[in-house]
């Protein structure tokens, strides 16, 4: 890919329940598969699969957070009730690259979390390409929380 200035990249945080088991409580597996389709359609690209289950809290706490969500808490509130920040993921790859981000996270916003981590590691997001997936009745509250509390573009 030498000499090419734009490469579609999806930085995807592991979600065993969504990516592997197809949980409909989130949109993670759908996002990953859609990103793969978009990269295939572009003819080149990269999936960076980050091993940081449950916004960085791990699988066992994520299952506990699911139980709290069944009691009415949203995903952010559940993580906080368990004593975690709303998002503990770490994105630093330490590379000097320019990328076109395949994301629903507001990476184009200079103040966004992903823009801050990208700039902090010398990464430059030159464009954001949205990942469009259809919501379902099981993940409506989850998606609303991502939009309202985490600033995701849906």
Cα–Cα distance measured from residue 64 to residue 17, given in angstroms and rounded to the nearest whole number? 13
Active site residue: 89, 109, 116, 132, which one?
89
Q: Select which of 19, 87, 109, 116 is catalytic.
A: 87
Q: 50: buried, middle or exposed (CB in 10 Å: 19+, 13-18, 0-12)?
A: middle
Q: Is 87 a catalytic residue?
A: yes
Beta-carbon neighbour count of residue 36 at 10 Å?
Answer: 15
Whether residue 89 lies in the annotated active site: yes
117: helix, strand or coil: helix
Write phi, then psi, for 101 (nearest 5 degrees): -85, 125
Which positions are catalytic?
87, 89
């Amino acid at each position: 890919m030498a000499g090419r200035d734009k490469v579609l990249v999806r930085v995807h945080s592991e979600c065993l329940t969504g990516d592997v088991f197809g949980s409909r409580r989130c949109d993670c597996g759908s996002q990953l598969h859609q990103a793969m389709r978009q990269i295939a359609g572009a003819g080149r690209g990269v999936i960076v699969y980050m091993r940081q289950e449950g916004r960085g809290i791990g699988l066992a706490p994520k299952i506990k957070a699911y139980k709290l969500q069944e009691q009415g808490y949203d995903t952010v509130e559940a993580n906080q009730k368990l004593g975690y920040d709303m998002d503990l993921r770490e994105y630093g790859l330490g590379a000097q690259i320019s990328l076109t981000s395949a994301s629903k996270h507001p990476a184009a916003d200079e103040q966004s979390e992903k823009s801050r981590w990208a700039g902090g590691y010398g990464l430059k997001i030159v464009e954001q390409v949205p990942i469009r997936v259809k919501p379902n009745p099981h993940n409506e509250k989850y998606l609303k929380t991502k939009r309202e509390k985490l600033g995701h573009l849906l």
